[in-house]
A and B are shown apart, each in its own frame.
Chain A
Amino acid sequence: MQLVPPSCFKPEPSRVSAAHLTAEFAGGRTILRRQQVGYPWHLTRGFYLDGARPDLLTLYLQSAAGGMYGADDLQFDVTVGDGAALHLTTQSATVVHPGRDRPAALRQRIRVGACGFAALTSDPYILFPDAELMLSTTAVVEQNGVLLIADGFSTHCPPRSTGVFRRFASELRIERPDGRLLILDRGALRGSDLSGDFDALGGARAAASVVLIAAPEQLPPAEEIEAEADRAGCFAGVSMAPNEAGLVLRMTAPDAGGLTRGITAAFHVVTRHLLCAELAPRRK
């Protein structure tokens, strides 16, 4: 018989979670046709916040876990049907805790139907010392569908702690239904790469990308987005995306608060032009 020492333990298994949302247009507005969301996520009820766009459904995604932890393997699938309009946003920033050599991973799959509108704007991921995060998003957008997606991160070192995050990696792949690749934005940064005014972030400590997939005639003026993001305290640059897919916005900020304000400002400029409506503030 093999004796088990009383102090022995086996490594905790990964926390694996898969969530699915399907939004469809029915009865003059967008409704949730399917919702399968388990721990660590919690989804609020749907809100219709915009008088000028009563069909637009807004959902807040919350984490009940206090952030992301090493070996987390989370998956989120979102489908926005033909003609539906969904804004999915987070309730607050997400803390990414030290990973102990096991990165946390979030994989998102998005599908936007014909004439659909999907906005997924996340508050920044807060990378604690030794945190390691891998984001992977694959989106399939119909020719006349619209996708707005924003993701970013900020470094953070709590009082009485030292060090920087270990690694942040992100991949965004956007395709048409026939498989044609529009955009592939893949990059990775180690905390040790941040070294001063001429590092990857130009001395800032937070960065985000906002990608808009839309027809050329729907695109807002680049100068207006940059000006609004600058006013929010960010340093932002807008460019036409490859393959005439839409716009790309990069921004940096001194911290997560500034980055959140910049993402919010960009969201409102973009939607003002896209939806021809001034959307209500998303209270958090």
Chain B
Amino acid sequence: MMQSALLAIWQADSGFPNGSFAFSYGMEAIAALRGRFSAQALTDLIESVLRLRWATFDRLLLLRAFRAGDDLAELHTLDRTCEAMTLIESLRLGTRRNGGSFVAAHARLGNPTAARLRDAIAAGDCLGHLPVMQGAIWRSLQFDEPSAQLASGYVTASGMIAAAVRLGAIGALQAQSALQSSLPIIEQLVIEADDAAELSSFLPFIDIAAARHTRADLRLFVN
């Protein structure tokens, strides 16, 4: 139990080189549209993402990859499903590049599952979408399922917070207030969400912002 909690803290730490530094999850485009965020506005945005994409899509992919274990064929199927269901190109490429960096970091740390996945990505057998890679590798690290979900939810929320701060769209302390407000939402979703549900995602506002962002003149983030 304690080991799993420590592993989750390690993997959720922004210092882990998982490639997320280059991605804003649509935040850059939304900040360009709406200007500065209040703490409440940022909390609302993160809650929308957590409820309508993370809990029903990323979290479920993570769980299914976690349960697939070393079944590369099943991971491949999940990866292809993630590809077909991520309709916006910048978000699709973002999660693939992010997943690839995550796998590469663990492979360099000597994780044999990560090494296999890195080879599968290089061979074109896997695409490397982040939630699928997280599920497979975190299982190999002996996470338990709740810790894996909490780490995933936290990484999603803290990634949005970090992007908003780096964009100057919110002050550092206000951003931490928004992150703190997001923690009980993550906990509630992990406890209450339906693990057997079909994958789904519904965030037109962020999809539109991310799609338009690819044609912006000046960009700090990939998406």
What is the CA–CA distance of A200 and B46 in the complex, to the nearest angstrom?
11
Complex interface: stretch among B2-10, B67-75, B82-90, B166-174? B82-90
With an 8 Å Cβ cutoff, the count of chain A residues facing the other chain is 39
Whether A181 contacts B80 by the Cβ 8 Å rule is yes
Which residues of the partner chain B approach A201 to less than 8 Å between Cβ atoms?
A: 204-205
A101 interface residue per 8 A CB criterion: no
Which residues of the partner chain A approach B34 to less than 8 Å between Cβ atoms?
A: 197
Whether A252 contacts B83 by the Cβ 8 Å rule is no
With an 8 Å Cβ cutoff, the count of chain B residues facing the other chain is 36
What is the CA–CA distance of A135 and B175 in the complex, to the nearest angstrom?
38
Which residues of the partner chain B approach A199 to less than 8 Å between Cβ atoms?
A: 44, 48, 205
Min CB distance A139 to B, Å, is 13
Interface of chain A residues 163 through 215 with chain B (CB within 8 A): 169, 181-189, 193, 195-204, 207, 209
Min CB distance B96 to A, Å, is 11
What is the CA–CA distance of A185 and B42 in the complex, to the nearest angstrom?
26
Inter-chain pairs besides A185-B87, A197-B41, 13 sampled, C-beta below 8 Å: A181-B84, A186-B85, A186-B199, A186-B200, A193-B48, A198-B44, A200-B204, A200-B205, A202-B205, A209-B204, A223-B215, A235-B208, A237-B208
B-binding residues in A (CB < 8 A) = 169, 181-189, 193, 195-204, 207, 209, 222-223, 226, 235-243, 248, 250-252
Which residues of the partner chain A approach B219 to less than 8 Å between Cβ atoms?
A: none
Whether B205 contacts A252 by the Cβ 8 Å rule is yes
Whether A226 contacts B84 by the Cβ 8 Å rule is no
Whether A250 contacts B204 by the Cβ 8 Å rule is yes
Which residues of the partner chain A approach B85 to less than 8 Å between Cβ atoms?
A: 184-186, 242
Whether B83 contacts A241 by the Cβ 8 Å rule is no
